[in-house]
């Protein structure tokens, strides 16, 4: 039947996997990117990861039919060019990742924005399988989105559709690095949750986070851990973030009326801590609420999504 | 070449027009609906309006190829059934307007939500001609929207896409009849602008609106007239409404990245009074602002949109 390789190109790591037609991972590789060694070095790392899985495919007796890639930034999927690279991945600016891989390996390659491919992955193999219109929201260091309409990725007029992290939630709210005020990303990302925890601790609010964090850094992951042990402050921080996310999702549901909304990214790993307040807010605000589901793939969403992209195009041609 | 009939079915009037392939109106009829006389009477009024234009087509030597209709409420375009009628048009609940007209006149008929057809009309014949992805926002008694994606109307999973009037703009803002708080519609519709004017007058704010309105009712149209004569309060009311609309449009642009946004409905007739503050707010907030255009068709947007719907389906089949 053949397999594909899905590559999740991140700011600090490259994660790639050999994925079959049902979205199952047969094998995977993960490596830290050495961006400080320059563009050519990172290209070699990318080629190395793909090459390793190509060798691996042979041991399964499988042919690699295509390579799919997900990368941060604004990407033109037709040319595969990174039109606007992410701040932490300047080396890809103006590069066609598609051409790079096709020329080196002689296989078809496809590339799209990292959150877009996660949306497609959930729609093809995950919790949204079989649905036509979905919104995927990745909540992590930042907040991004991907939109599938009619079973296909929707890119908008300049490939920037899905910037749900920059929906205005509080018009006079905190300044966002994008220049706007009160963006969802400035109110509910992982680092914001961690920073709010530190602010409350500095004010002397009672929380077991203080003891558990010790002298170490407070992360959103740690806040989630302490919250799941019942700490009131930490639970409230997720409720607050969930409320903001729920406001943005309600507006999106009213405007787009999708079949469902899928929540992924690091913060989504907190599960019901964040999903429950999101659902409560949406129940209050949306005209016709639709299901809000947790991403099936967690950490692997990027690789499986990139593989989904490859399968999508292979099937579109067939 | 043939012509089509476009029918705008409103709460108080039926407006229908004979429209050629370029979107030009050849003739039109307009009548007050007598909803108080019951459903059958309104059906007869609808048939009468269409029948009159059918006769008119003969005098032009043109064949009527199809009837397109736009109606408030939630409509399933495939069956033509009004799934959820508008509050002021209960007689259409559960009725297939498509079937009604096809059986009576023996011509193809098509029906969609009234704001959806306005969006399609602008995309086929209006300011958005030639564009693929647009958002149309009708600002009047309420605030509604229509979304065109890939040159086709986008309906969402349950035909309710485009409810941009219920985007949350101020999470703790005024209560909206929909049950939510701080919806765009509760902050920037025509009646809200008029009510805000009355509130300021009651507080004794200096405005020539007081003299001009006299003992009569303050309408949004009157506020626009006084604003265009330079009255500071009235100008500010449009600036305030425009700011709220701009916040919602920025969020929509970030999420959907359309080719343009078209503003129609009664409030849009105020022109730059409302468009200029909308554009200012969008320039501050949107990641990649796209053009914000005034609807080309004003009062006729509903009829031309309904005709566009008919032409759209005729061409899709051909």
Does residue B140 belong to any structural domain of this protein?
Answer: yes
Low-confidence ranges of chain B (pLDDT < 50): none
Residue among A147, A160, A255 minimizing CB distance to B163: A255
Burial of residue A230, with CB atoms counted within 10 A of its CB: 0-12 exposed, 13-18 middle, 19 or more buried: exposed
d(CA A29, nearest CA chain B) in Å: 33
Q: Which residues from B are below 8 Å from A248, CB to CB?
A: 251
Whether the pLDDT of residue A141 is over 90: the answer is yes
Q: What is the token pair recorded at B312?
A: 């759209």
A177 located within any domain = yes
State how many domains chain A has: 2
Residue A184 has pLDDT above 90, yes or no: yes
Distances (CA, A) of A267 to A137, A271, B151: 11, 8, 36
Question: What residues have CB less than 8 Å from B230, skipping those under 6 apart?
Answer: none
Strand ranges (E), A105-172: 108-113, 134-139, 143-149, 152-153
Same domain, B287 and B310: no
Q: What is the mean pLDDT of chain A?
A: 95
Same domain, A265 and A164: yes
Residues A50 and A83 in one domain: yes
Q: Residue A272's domain is classified under what CATH number?
A: 3.30.420.40
Can you tell me the mean pLDDT for A63-86?
96
A310: CB partners within 8 A, 6+ apart: A4, A5, A6, A65, A66, A67, A68, A108, A109, A110
Same domain, B164 and B288: yes
Residue B23 domain-assigned?
Answer: yes
How far is B255 from A220, CA to CA, in rounded Å?
25
| A262 and A304 together in one domain | no
Q: Look at residue A239 and tell me if it is in a domain.
A: yes
pTM, 2 dp: 0.95
Q: Which of B161, B179, B257 sits opposite A158 (nearest CB)?
A: B257
**Residue A283, pLDDT score:** 97
Residue A120 is encoded by which pair of tokens?
A: 């497609």
Quote the pLDDT of residue B317: 79
Burial class from Cβ neighbours inside 10 Å (0-12, 13-18, 19+) for residue B26 reads middle
Task: State whether B30 and B174 are in the same domain.
Answer: no
d(CA A187, CA A49): 36
Judge whether A182 and B250 are in contact, CB under 8 Å: no
Question: How large is the average pLDDT for residues A244-272?
Answer: 97
Contacting B residues, span 198-257, partner chain A, CB-CB under 8 Å: 247-248, 250-252, 254-257
Q: How many CA atoms lie within 13 A of B283 on its CB side?
A: 6
Over 80: is that where the pLDDT of A318 sits?
A: no
Same domain, yes or no, for B9 and B137?
A: no
Cβ proximity of A126 and A296 under 8 Å: yes
| Contact call for A255 and B132, based on CB within 8 A | no
Q: Which of residues 250-289 of B touch A (CB under 8 A)?
A: 250-252, 254-259, 284-285, 287-288
Residues B134 and B270 in one domain: yes
- The answer, for B159 touching chain A at a CB cutoff of 8 Å, is yes
A159 contacts B257? CB cut-off 8 A: yes
pLDDT for B294? 97
pLDDT per residue as tens digits for the range A8-51: 998 889 999 999 999 999 999 999 988 888 888 989 999 999 99
| Same domain assignment for residues B144 and B54 | no
Q: Does A100 lie in the same domain as A26?
A: yes
| Closest Cβ–Cβ partner in A160, A180, A251 for B167 | A251
Beta carbons of A164 and B247 less than 8 Å apart:
no
Q: Name the phi and psi angles at B136, rounded to 5.
A: -110, 135
In a domain, A120, yes or no: no
**Is residue B103 in a domain?**
yes
Is residue A175 domain-shared with residue A196, that is, in the same domain?
A: yes
Tell me how far apart the alpha carbons of residues A126 and A264 are, in angstroms, rounded to a whole number: 11
| Rounded-to-integer distance, Cα A265 and Cα B154, Å | 28
CB-CB under 8 Å, A145 with B257: no
User: Are residues B306 and B279 part of one domain?
Assistant: no
In a domain, B120, yes or no: no
| Tokens 């068709």 sit on residue | B297
pLDDT of residue A90: 83
Whole-number pLDDT of residue B61: 95
Mean pLDDT over the full length of chain B: 95
- Rounded Cα distance between B160 and B145, Å, is 10
Mean pLDDT for A131-147 is 97
Chain A residues whose beta carbon lies within 8 Å of the beta carbon of residue B164:
254-255
- Segments forming the whole domain that contains residue B313: 3-113+299-317
Kindly state whether residue B122 falls inside one of the protein's structural domains: no
Helix, strand, coil percentages (3-state) for chain A, rounded to 5, are: 45, 20, 30
* Token pair for B136: 């149309």
CA dist., res. B254 & res. A165, Å (int): 8
Give strand pairing partners of B93.
none
pLDDT of A133 strictly over 80: yes
């Amino acid at each position: 039947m053949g397999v594909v390789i899905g590559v999740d190109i991140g700011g600090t790591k490259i994660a790639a996997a050999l994925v079959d037609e049902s979205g199952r991972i047969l094998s995977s590789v993960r490596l830290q990117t050495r961006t400080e060694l320059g563009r050519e070095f990172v290209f070699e790392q990318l080629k190395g990861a793909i090459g390793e899985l190509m060798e691996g495919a042979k041991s399964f007796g499988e042919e690699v039919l295509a390579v799919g890639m997900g990368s941060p930034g604004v990407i033109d999927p037709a040319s595969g060019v990174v039109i606007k690279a992410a701040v932490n991945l300047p080396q890809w600016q103006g590069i066609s990742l598609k051409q790079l891989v096709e020329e080196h390996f002689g296989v078809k390659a496809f590339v799209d924005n990292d959150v877009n491919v996660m949306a497609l992955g959930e729609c093809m193999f995950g919790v949204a399988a079989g649905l036509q219109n979905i919104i995927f929201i990745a909540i992590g260091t930042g907040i991004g989105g991907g939109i599938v309409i009619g079973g296909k990725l929707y890119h908008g007029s300049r490939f920037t559709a899905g910037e749900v992290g920059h929906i205005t939630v509080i018009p006079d709210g905190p300044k966002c690095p994008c220049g706007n005020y009160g963006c969802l990303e400035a109110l509910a990302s992982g680092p914001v949750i961690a920073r709010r925890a530190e602010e409350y601790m500095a004010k002397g609010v009672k929380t077991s986070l203080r003891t558990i964090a010790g002298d170490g850094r407070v992360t959103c992951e740690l806040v989630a851990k302490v919250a799941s042990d019942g700490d009131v402050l930490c639970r409230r921080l997720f409720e607050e973030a969930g409320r903001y996310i729920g406001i943005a999702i309600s507006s999106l549901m009213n405007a787009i009326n999708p079949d469902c909304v899928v929540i992924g990214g690091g913060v989504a790993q907190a599960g019901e801590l964040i999903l429950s307040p999101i659902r409560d807010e949406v129940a209050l605000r949306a005209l016709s609420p639709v299901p809000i589901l947790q991403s099936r793939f967690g950490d692997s969403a990027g690789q499986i999504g990139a593989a989904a992209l490859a399968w999508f195009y292979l099937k579109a041609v067939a």
